[in-house]
A and B are shown apart, each in its own frame.
Chain A
Amino acid sequence: MTNTCRALAAVLLALLAGQASAATYRVDDTGTVVGQPVTPMRWRQRVPGRVADNTVEGQVSVALRLNLSQWVMRQARIYMLLAPTENERLVATWRTQGRLLPGSMRGGDRMLVFEGVVREPFLQETILLNLTADGRALERAQSLQFNFEIEMTP
């Protein structure tokens, strides 16, 4: 895009992205690959104990590819969001290889995973997601929807 075009795009984005968060945009994660289409949740205790632990857990790796080409050399914060889940006790914890911050979240949360200057047009990182939930409340298959937002910082 030319400079004029970039300016126009920036103006439009600023106008349409919302007044409350004037410089927050959804990040395109096209190319992100989830390690397995379905993650089977398993009882932490297959056999109940004297004190029952009804936690179920599952792990999956996710190869992220975030398109940050519009914000190269800009100071930014990137957040990972998890859409509200049916099981309110579901917790997603993730480890990273260092390009993003590790953390933990529940459905409806928005957690900081990056803060700094965007150096490259594509941020690629593999995270290991560990999912835990109350097995009694997880009766059927669900889809957990994660996405990313970027926020420009002055």
Chain B
Amino acid sequence: MKLRRPSFEQLRLVACLAAALGALVPARAYTVGITSAPRSLYLQVGVGNMTTGNVNTAGNNTTQNNVTVTVPAAALFTGAAQTMSTDSIVVNSPIDNAAYCTTAGQVYIGSFFRTTGSSNNSASLTVTTPASLSSGSATIPFSTIAWTSGTNAGGSEIPSGSFTSTSLALTTVAKNTWSESCLLFRYTNPGIVPGGTFTGTATYTLTAP
């Protein structure tokens, strides 16, 4: 077999074709990677840490507020419910500082669930308590504490109720919106109980899927 060397003109043509076709190879595109925004949960029972401004910012607050009542002697054994007071000073909504829990003794409870996704998921607000309020070895059922829900602005998402169970589902919090409630607690004063200062802790928990 006889090999023939390509001429200079032939080589030049091949080079031209290669250069021309090289220009047709799809040019690369630059790529910008993006990630979804972070999820977050916020729950405020009584005093919280929300800085209201052009853009609100949330923080932690470890304050544990109290609701208390001293049953006057005249009310003993009468069954007359006794409205409880609170050391929470939150009257205005932390969303926009609008007057919200203006009735004396109301406890503000607010929460939100910030999340991505188009599915209709929501967070759950629950409360847990021990079975009883205690004073030394004496006890009173926690179910003797009830609440009335209502706000100055009308909407209060947690329904009225009482601690009928040691674990209660209070409401669901739709994603990317606030849930707000004002609760006015009362001692139902059901009957004869031993003397003492009875205490117990209700723990509110917001859970997201």
Query: What residues of chain A have their CB less than 8 Å away from a CB belonging to chain B?
Result: 1-2, 4-5, 8-9, 12-13, 16-17, 25-30, 32, 34, 37-50, 52, 54, 56, 58, 60, 62, 64, 67, 70, 83, 129, 131, 133, 135-148
Contact = CB atoms under 8 A, between A and B. Distances in A.
Given A41-B36, A136-B116, A143 B96 contact: no
B19 interface: yes
B16 A38 contact: no
Contacts of B34: 38-41, 58, 131, 133, 138, 141-144
A146 B26 CA distance: 13
Nearest to B117: A139
Interface stretch (B51-59, B73-81, B156-164): B51-59
Nearest to B30: A32
11 contacts: A8-B17, A9-B23, A26-B27, A47-B56, A136-B117, A137-B118, A138-B34, A139-B36, A141-B35, A143-B32, A147-B29
Dominant SS among interface residues on chain A? mixed
A60 B96 contact: no
Interface string B7-35: 00000100111011101101111111111
A32 B28 CA distance: 10
A12 B10 CA distance: 18
B32 A41 contact: no
